[in-house]
Structure 1
Amino acid sequence: MRALARIFAGLTALAVIAAGAFWFVMLEFQEPGTLAEETIVQVPRGTGLNAIADRLVEADVIDNRWIFIAGVYANRQERALQAGEYAFPANVSPEEAMTLMATGQTVTYSVTVPEGRTSAEIVATLQEEDRLTGEIESVPPEGSLLPETYHYVRGDSRESILDRMEAAMDEALASAWEDREEGLPYETPEEALTMASIIEKETGVAGERPMVASVFVNRLRRGMPLQSDPTVIYALTEGAAPLGRELLRTDWAFESPYNTYHVAGLPPGPIANPGIQSIQAALNPADTDYLYFVADGTGGHAFAETLAEHNRNVAQWRRVRQQSEE
């Protein structure tokens, strides 16, 4: 009996010690750490728990790898920790570090594509994002990418961003087409997209876009050429890069299906990637009788119903430009 009592007492002592050790580990696991400032740590795919702990120690995110490993096992998260780039805040506890990685709260970045960029220009923008990976095999069709801000994590591919941009454009165009005004001179959503790209390049003033759309819609309905300067620029550059100079009157004679001084109707496709507002303007233009517009010297445009009125606006614009050059 005494032997059994001694064994029982020994087991009890071991249990108390184990419980105490577990309690100590959990306290340390939850205790704020000594990390002085936010630190970013990259965890590659396939990195095991031991290697993760070593990386966190090397970056001073945690002080004791064994406390971290024990705490992860105690919480049954050893298979939940995800690869990626993590921003660990100052004084992060081992438990908070585990939670950050188990929930995959990786560092995110963003790339913003302004409205009106050509597909070649957008590809060039993505090539400059050094956190993205992979090469872009071909330039997407003009007008197929929706300009917007896109978020990504380090290691995402450039092609994946293009895929998201194409899906976003498909969705935006389909939605706007469903809500379009009746009787517009477009037979397909693609024709509306072409119009939207011209509107996008003609004005950067959001409130003007429906009026610019009305001018072009009115001209199409009357069989008048659109006579849009941005279409001439696209004909000259094919969207590869900015023209790099002022457009000349002699350029209006350049033979191209994209030159709307040279050919009637819409060009054969978009001349840029328009934003949602320009797409909506193309499909819901303002109700006007305007047939002309010209820059007014303030960043906007002066609109006119008759050629005589337009010529007066053009003369005024020339005076404003001359004064600015003096």
Structure 2
Amino acid sequence: MEDKNNIKETLMKKLLERQEEAKVIRKIVGLIILSLIIVIGGTAVGGYLYVKSALKPVDPENTKPVKVEIPIGSGVTSIGNILEENGIVKNATIFKYYVKFNNESGFQAGSYDLTPSMTLSEIVNSLKTGKVMRKAEFKITIPEGLQLDKIAEIIADKSPYKKDEIEKKLNDKKWLGQLKKEYPNLITDEILNEDIKKPLEGYLYPVTYSFYEKKPSLEEILTKMIGQTDEVLAQYKSTMADKEFTAHKLLTMASLIEEEATEKADRGKISSVFYNRIEEGMPLQTDPTVLYALGEHKSRTVYKDLEVDSPYNTYKVAGLPPGPIANAGLSSIEAALQPEDTNYYYFLASSNGSVYYSETLEEHNEKKAKYITNKSE
């Protein structure tokens, strides 16, 4: 009987010890949870206060103008960094999310007169309306799908330089060597291939350029256009690496898409046709490369043209031509990187700009007979 009592007392003692231990554990867990709540709450409050502060002017009392240069092609991230570096916004990341949250766009390049007292709304409106600090002496607009000879004419018409001066500079080997050093990811030995007709064909990006000096150097004018191409392609660096695309190959493919596209054409589908044909070992057979080989600007090609002996003639030579045949806009560059997934191997454009795609030669010829006048001698 005494043993049973001892056992009972021992069990009760252990039970009480476990209850005390459980109380201690619950207290510790409670303290940990409370601490986490305080930390999370404090972080949330701190984050809220930080964001709220970052949305306010850097210094409401400081109305002294700061000259801020927004380069052509700058994205929201780079604009935010420029504004933060110049003390116009408190935080570049907060500026970026403010812009995205409010669905703002249409920022313009230029030299701006901004102050630390401006609100984010005022800053955004200034960048959208393009209130620049000074008026450009002249502007040069380079359209998409142009070849260097036409671009040289435009530059000559708008700048103090003659066409022959511009063309000479575009072929200056010493200057090309300098460009290789300045833009190593863009300008490579590929442009010096002996089959290349014009080293910088396709490298002058199509956009409007503003110049604030009456006579900037010719190198400055051309470098600005080449630098813009470098900036644009830099956005697709990882995609280019995944696809093992050099800048030269990308610009070459994009130029073919640009030259074949019409206003109604889907560049993604045209791109898919080119890739499908390359994969099957079929020649691209794109007329703009023939015209480029001929060095002529014609509305259409005839059968005789297709016989031209040139590495640019994609009726005779498989794969891509040695280099770009014109400059390409952003939509063609993106189509070259991201073609649609189709089974098309043929396409043709009618006189009204509509584009028709086919999977077989028979289907293509039927559409050709229906929509296109046959080539003649």
* TM-score relative to the length of structure 1: 0.59
Q: Does 1:147 align with 2:206?
A: yes
The structure 2 residue matched to 1:306, chosen from 343, 360, 368, is 360
Runs of 4+ in 1 over 4 A off after TM superposition: 130-135
Aligned residue-pair number = 213
SS in structure 2 at match of 1:111: strand
Match of 2:254 in 1: 196
Which amino acid in the other structure matches residue 256 of structure 2? I
The alpha-carbon distance between structure 1 residues 157 and 219, as it changes in their structure 2 partners (threshold 3 A), is same
Kindly indicate whether the alpha-carbon contact (under 8 Å) linking 1:181 and 1:283 is maintained by their aligned counterparts in 2: no
Q: Distance in 1 between matches of 2:352 and 2:264?
A: 14
Are the aligned partners of 2:252 and 2:325 in contact in 1 as well (CA < 8 Å)? yes
Q: Give distance in 1, aligned partners of 2:223 and 2:282.
A: 37
Indicate if the aligned counterparts of 2:291 and 2:298 stay in contact, CA closer than 8 A. no
Q: Extract unaligned runs of 5+ from structure 1.
A: 1-102, 322-326
Q: Post-superposition shift, 1:313?
A: 1.1
Which residue number corresponds to residue 141 of structure 2? 112
Please give the alpha-carbon distance, in whole angstroms, between the structure 2 residues aligned to 1:297 and 1:320. 13
Amino acid corresponding to residue 361 of structure 2 in structure 1: L
1:294–1:314 CA contact under 8 A, matched in 2: yes
Per the alignment, residue 80 of structure 1 pairs with none
Tell me: CA distance 1:196–1:206, structure 2 relative to 1, closer, same or farther (3 Å): farther
Matches within 5 A, 1:9-20: none
User: Aligned pair in 2 of structure 1 residues 309, 284: CA closer, same or farther (>3 Å)?
Assistant: same
Report deviation, 1:246: 3.3
Q: Percent identity?
A: 41
Tell me the amino acid that sits aligned with residue 193 of structure 1. Answer: L
Distance 1:193 1:206, change over 3 A: farther
User: What's the offset of the Cα at 1:319?
Assistant: 6.3
Q: Which of 205, 218, 227 is equivalent to 2:285?
A: 227
Partner of 1:124: 153
CA distance in 2, matches of 1:319, 1:143: 31
Which position in structure 2 is the counterpart of 1:210?
268
Q: TM-score under structure 2 normalisation? A: 0.52
Letter in 2 for 1:192: L
| C-alpha distance after superposition, 1:170-227 (max 9, x if no partner) | 1212323423595x5x652311211101111111327511110010011011111000
Unaligned runs of 5+ in 2: 1-131, 172-199
Quote the residue 2:169 is aligned against: 138
The question of whether the paired residues in 2 share the 8 Å contact of 1:133 and 1:157 is answered with no
The CA distance in 2 between the partners of 1:228 and 1:317, in whole Å, is 18
Whether the 8 Å CA contact 1:199–1:213 is kept in 2: the answer is yes
Deviation at 1:112, TM superposition (A): 1.0
Report whether the alignment pairs 1:166 with 2:226: yes
What whole-Å deviation, never above 9, does each CA across 1:242-263 have from its counterpart, x for those lacking one? 4246311111111100000011
Q: Does 1:255 align with 2:309?
A: yes
Cross-structure match for 2:35? none
Aligned counterparts of 2:267 and 2:217: Cα–Cα separation in 1: 34
Q: Secondary structure at the match of 1:164?
A: helix
What is the distance in 2 between the residues matched to 1:225 and 1:177? 28
Question: 2:230 matched to 1:176?
Answer: no
Tell me the amino acid that sits aligned with residue 122 of structure 1. Answer: I
Q: Deviations over 1:100-155 (max 9, x none)?
A: xxx96244432211111112221121011146799434226111111111111233
Deviates more, 1:244-253 or 1:141-150: 244-253
Is the 1:225–1:265 Cα contact (8 Å) retained in structure 2? yes
CA change 1:200–1:245 in 2 (3 A) is closer
Determine the structure 2 residue equivalent to 1:282.
336
Q: Give the match's secondary structure for 2:362.
A: helix
Structure 1 vs Structure 2 CA RMSD:
2.7
- C-alpha change, 1:130 and 1:174, in structure 2 (3 Å) is closer
The verdict on how the C-alpha distance between 1:181 and 1:170 changes in structure 2, with shifts beyond 3 A counting, is closer
- Distance (Å, rounded) in 2 between the aligned partners of 1:244 and 1:267: 19
**Letter of the 2:252 counterpart:** T
Confirm or deny: 8 A CA contact 1:132 1:156 kept in the other structure.
Answer: no
